[in-house]
Each structure stands twice: as structure tokens, then as C-alpha cells.
A = this chain, B = another copy of it.
Amino acid sequence: MNPIVQEIIQSLRKSGLRRTKALEELITTLLESKRPMTLAELATSARLADQCDKVTVFRLLQRLAEHGAVRRLGLHERAAYFTLLIPGKHSDYLICTSCGSIKAIEAPCPVHQLEAEIREKTGYRNLYHELEFFGVCPKCA
């Protein structure tokens, strides 16, 4: 088993979550995925399709989000996207408005300075941001 997955589960266990096969597979799937995924994608993914019901995946995502292990993103689609939150890791996304492909952008995020200013000036707590670029990818153009 992936040690990072174990670590995440270990941390969640402290919050009262139980170690179940579904939880383990869900986290593994999210970790292996290079991009955020929808509930439908997750529920039908190789690791989870036969493992548990879609509703279970839904509730796991809900709980993981409550515990800050997962974040729910908009990404412009009808369905919500979910991504694993790895401490110290931040991603912005590049999304094709034509084919819907989603790529994580590795370039350093230029927003942290403004985020700090906002935190200071507005007094908002637990500030974080989402940055997405939309356009038509070369394949679709």
C-alpha cells in the first residue's frame, strides 16, 4: 500500500474516521489522478467501481472535504470536481472549453502575494484560492 495513502488515512483516523477498503481506494485513486475528478468518474473508476456504491463515494468525499483532506472545485462543469489536498502542494488548472480536458499547471502560482494582502486587509480567515485558465486546446482548435 502507498505510504502517502496510509499517512492520510492515519491522520483521518484521529478524527474518528474508520479505515475501510472504500476509503483507501478512494484516496489512492485521487492520489494517482493527475487532475481533479467528478463523483461519477470516481464511482466508476477501476478501483472503486466494484468496491462500493456511488453514494458511499459521495459521502466519503463529503467527509474528507469536512476534514480538509479533499477540496471540492467548480471547474466550470455541471458536475463538481474533487481533488486531494496535499499539504504544501498547490495546483492551478488549464481547462479546454471544447473537449473538457483538465491539466494541472506546475508553474509557480503568482497569486500568493495578493492572497497575503487580502488576508491582511479584509481579515478573512482560512484563506485559499482557486485559479483556472480556460481556452481551446491545440487539438480542438
Contact = CB atoms under 8 A, between A and B. Distances in A.
A136 B126 contact: yes
A49 interface: no
Contacts of A132: 129-131
Contact of A97 (B114, B126, B131): B126
Q: Which of A72, A94, A133, A141 has the most CB of B within 10 A?
A: A133
B97 A107 contact: no
Contact of A127 (B126, B128, B133): B133
Interface of A: 72-78, 80, 94, 96-97, 105, 107, 110-111, 113-115, 117-119, 122-138, 141
Given A97-B126, A125-B136, A127-B133, 13 more contacts: A73-B74, A74-B74, A94-B122, A94-B124, A96-B124, A107-B118, A110-B113, A115-B133, A124-B135, A125-B135, A126-B135, A127-B134, A131-B132
